[in-house]
Structure 1
């Protein structure tokens, strides 16, 4: 028995000495670690600041005037596109933008029951001559357009488009809203943002100053002016109205399922508000008994 107590005392003594040594080493190490961590943190902060300064010094978007956020009628969670504005926007595209810009991914059938009736869409399609074929003789022929045809391209190829626009390629507008930072805000601001170049800025031939365009030098001349077209519904065709309508039309073209997506989301929220409390009640009713059950095992 005495031997056991002696062993216990010896082990406690050794443990106490180890703890003293460990505490001494830890205090010394922690002081060094604090110095090292402080130096490392200072270097990290200095390096991050240097990188941030270099990054912002060459950041291209600093030379871009970001478009302001506009109060679009379809901007809310439950707000849909203004169909009348989309139809007017198609008029702007057809009479102004279609001379240079294509919409290769939008067909006349997409207009049916959105902006036009089926008969109106067929009439619009028939106004376009479409090259088709070959026929039985192996020759290409021209026919009136159909609902299944896509909007016509103003140029036969990319080279012809560049040649007609001083080397600049007019972008396809099918998904232009989703392809630009700012979406329809950017399109509206760009179309209404043409101003004279500030002092000291010289524009090359065929270029125009627009602060919303990256680099400010854009190859597209100002396209929208007051009363440049006449709306079918009699809406005053001011520049801002034209830009607003064509921006709304391009939003629809980039996301034709815009209204359906919001409608489906609203239905999901309504169903969730009904069924989630029921599921929570059912879960509590079924599993509360199982969770509170005490099981005894026989030995």
Structure 2
């Protein structure tokens, strides 16, 4: 009887917790077709260039990319790769991009902190000197580093794209606190702000980041129409590349390895047949 009572109590608690738990499940990311998906997928260089521009002009105001160096932009498969410059540090366009950014350095004579134009050997600069400064500028929220964000978040590129394009007005019955923004694709618990049916809490959560993209907010150099959807796709592709800049080389190596293993297996099979053909089994 005791075991039965415990089981019933646990079942009751699970039932009562159902509405709260349901609120922690955001909407499934949108189904997006990406050119870099699949064993033969590859990045579109023009899209990566547009995505870098979205990051540079929009995202970099709050988010860092501490693991990415300017020279990576000019490496094979990168946004600004040019076969005329096999050494990415020699790429003049990336040199110019880096020189437009000021980074901290130490004066070798005085030891003072100074600022200088970045070089291809520098990382992307952080927008804030430390976490405390970042939180103070963002209402207490800490903007995550975007270097590997597409690999660090469940749903990967589809989640990032869905989040950027998923801002909507909160449904009736949902009171969003000041300084927060509702997004059905962002994981969270809305039960404390929901006044409707406890069994129908809206999906998603609230986050401190307001909608960042707007039509024509970024002007693309190649003439591509700058819609919210286009900006979101392009910056997501760029962030995916930044998280794994050797993805295409890895795929090509994997394909070559599969061909090698297939040929080796065929050769092994024929060798087996030849060696053991006169031996009784």
Equivalent residue number for residue 194 of structure 1: 167
Equivalent residue number for residue 253 of structure 1: 242
Deviation at 1:229, TM superposition (A): 1.2
List gaps (5 residues or longer) in structure 1.
1-42, 294-299
Equivalent residue number for residue 97 of structure 2: 124
Within 2, Cα distance between the matches of 1:228 and 1:283? 65
8 Å CA contact 1:208, 1:220 repeated in 2 = yes
Deviation at 1:83, TM superposition (A): 1.4
Equivalent residue number for residue 79 of structure 2: 115
SS in 1 for 2:260: helix
Within 2, Cα distance between the matches of 1:268 and 1:129? 44
Within 1, Cα distance between the matches of 2:161 and 2:52? 15
Picking from 264, 281, 290, the partner of 2:253 is: 264
Deviation at 1:68, TM superposition (A): 2.3
Within 2, Cα distance between the matches of 1:59 and 1:289? 68
Give CA-to-partner distance per residue, 1:81-108, whole Å, 9 cap, x none.
1111111100000000000100000010
Equivalent residue number for residue 268 of structure 2: 279
- With over 3 angstroms needed to count, the CA separation of the structure-2 counterparts of 1:68 and 1:137, relative to structure 1, is closer
SS in 1 for 2:152: coil
Picking from 146, 150, 169, the partner of 2:142 is: 169
Where is the helix percentage greater, Structure 1 or Structure 2?
1
Deviation at 1:120, TM superposition (A): 0.7
- 2:219 is equivalent to residue 224 of structure 1: no
Deviation at 1:268, TM superposition (A): 1.2
Task: Provide the alpha-carbon RMSD of the alignment.
Answer: 2.3
User: Looking at CA atoms only, which structure, 1 or 2, has the larger radius of gyration?
Assistant: 1
Deviation at 1:264, TM superposition (A): 0.7
- With over 3 angstroms needed to count, the CA separation of the structure-2 counterparts of 1:51 and 1:273, relative to structure 1, is farther
Equivalent residue number for residue 57 of structure 2: 95
Give CA-to-partner distance per residue, 1:248-288, whole Å, 9 cap, x none.
00000111111111111111122222221111111232245
- With over 3 angstroms needed to count, the CA separation of the structure-2 counterparts of 1:55 and 1:279, relative to structure 1, is farther
Equivalent residue number for residue 7 of structure 1: none
Q: How many residues align?
A: 247
8 Å CA contact 2:24, 2:187 repeated in 1 = no
8 Å CA contact 1:135, 1:141 repeated in 2 = no
SS in 1 for 2:258: helix
Equivalent residue number for residue 81 of structure 1: 43
**TM-score for both structures, normalised by structure 2:** 0.82
SS in 2 for 1:137: coil
Deviation at 1:200, TM superposition (A): 0.9
